[in-house]
Amino acid sequence: MSRRRIVTIDGPAGVGKSTVSRMTAVELGFTYLDTGAMYRTVGLYMSEQGVALDDEAGIAARIREVEMELLPATDENSDTRVLLCGEDVSREIRTQDMSMAASQVSSIPEVRTFLTEMQRRYGEKEDIVAEGRDMGTVVFPMAAWKFFLDASPEMRARRRFYQLEEQGETVDFEQLLAQTVERDYNDSHRNIAPLVPAKDAVLISTDAVDAAGVTAQIIRRVLDNSF
Alpha helices in 145-207 (DSSP H): 153-166, 173-189
Instruction: Give the per-residue pLDDT at 137.
Output: 95
Alpha-carbon span 107 to 189, nearest angstrom: 10
How many domains does the chain contain in total? 1
Q: What is the pLDDT of residues 47-61, one digit of tens each?
A: 999 999 999 999 999
* CATH code for position 141: 3.40.50.300
Q: Give 3-state DSSP helix, strand, coil % of the chain, rounded to 5.
A: 50, 15, 30
Mean of the pLDDT values across residues 71-96? 86
Name the range with the highest mean pLDDT among 71-85, 106-120, 164-178. 106-120
Give me the domain span that covers residue 79: 4-224
Q: Is the pLDDT of residue 42 over 80?
A: yes
Q: Is the pTM of this model over 0.85?
A: no
Mean of the pLDDT values across residues 77-89? 89
